Amino acid sequence: MNPSPTVALANGVQMPLLGLGTWPMDNDATASAVKTAVSNGYRLFDTAESYGNEAGVGEGLRRTGIRRDEVFITSKFNKEWHGGGGVAQAFEASAKRLGVEYIDLFLIHWPDPAQDRYVEAFIGLEALLREGKVRSIGTSNFKPKHLQRLFDAGLTPHVNQIQLDPEHVRSDIQALHRTKRIITGAYSPLGRGGAFLSRPAVSEAAVRHSKTPSQVVLRWLTQQCIAAVSKSADPRRQLENLDIFDFELTAEEMLRISALDTGGPARLDPDEYAH
């Protein structure tokens, strides 16, 4: 299986469009899944301090012997590190657990507006970027109003990773991303249970293209240059999820899938939830 195509971030860094998510696997399961995923063609690996499996990502990559510059590692840090020199400490801790000298994409995991230190945290990320400790920086679970606070301070993330699937298209925030050249990252792209996978817009496209419904949804995302991470420890499913770049959905098929949007909120509200 060939690796995923990439998308260029605003600073020119190339990020794979499809990667392996690792939540909620523990370190042992993560190491095994990552090792298998590398052999299956994956090059992007998504983890976080709060997942408790950064060490597993690093161990899995070491087991493969793959060169560090051939993989793209995304990690995220918790709210306790927001502000001041905390972001530098968060980086050092994550890099140590991963066993790497740099992180490809480092994200503020949740804005935590009640604490109101995420602007300071992003300034800390920019310092890491200047120092070459990270190759790109961004946010996760930021709403438009949270992003606007950054814009008002002259700050723009390269990526904002959000819950996004056919029932949660998030058109408002995607439009904002496009105006600011922010790449949209999608987590939980297949939902939890994925009732939308059986909807005619998805299932009929799957039949037409001789693909599975999950493959159709992942193609719907990546065809829009949305970078998706999908978790699977199963080698067969890993291969299936990556086998989506040999077909294209038609404009009509894309629209029908997007029309599944319920307009409902994300599973967790970033104004209320944070860690």
pLDDT tens digits, one per residue of 141-157: 999 999 999 999 999 99
Residue linked to tokens 């990320």: 125
Residues annotated as part of the active site: 51
pLDDT classification of 274: cutoffs 50, 70, 90 = very high
Q: What is the pLDDT of residues 100-148, one digit of tens each?
A: 999 999 999 999 999 999 999 999 999 999 999 999 999 999 999 999 9
CB 238 within 8 A of CB 27: no
N-term to C-term CA, the chain:
36
Q: What is the DSSP string of the chain?
A: -PPPPEEE-TTS-EEESEEEE-TT--HHHHHHHHHHHHHHT--EEE--GGGT-HHHHHHHHHHHT--GGG-EEEEEE-GGG-STTHHHHHHHHHHHHHT-S-EEEEEES---TTT--HHHHHHHHHHHHHHTSEEEEEEES--HHHHHHHHHTT---SEEEEE-BTTB--HHHHHHHHHHTPEEEEESTT-SS-GGGGSHHHHHHHHHHT--HHHHHHHHHHTTT-EEEEE---HHHHHHHH--SS----HHHHHHHHTT---PPPSS-TTT---
Categorize the per-residue pLDDT at 259 as very low, low, confident or very high, splitting at 50, 70 and 90: very high
Mean pLDDT of the chain: 96
pLDDT(158) > 80:
yes
Domain ranges across the chain:
6-258
Q: What percent of the chain has pLDDT over 90?
A: 93
The predicted model scores a pTM of 0.97
Task: Write out pLDDT tens, residues 206-233.
Answer: 999 999 999 999 999 999 999 999 999 9
CA count, 13 A, side-chain hemisphere, 90: 27
Could you tell me if 243 and 212 are in contact, meaning their C-beta atoms sit under 8 angstroms apart? no
Task: Tell me which CATH code domain 6-258 carries.
Answer: 3.20.20.100
Structure confidence by residue, pLDDT tens digits, 66-86 = 999 999 999 999 999 998 799
Question: Does 1 have pLDDT greater than 70?
Answer: no
Confidence of residue 28 (pLDDT cuts 50, 70, 90): very high
* Rounded Cα distance, 59 and 61, in Å: 5
> In the structure, what pLDDT confidence band is assigned to residue 3 with cuts at 50, 70 and 90?
confident
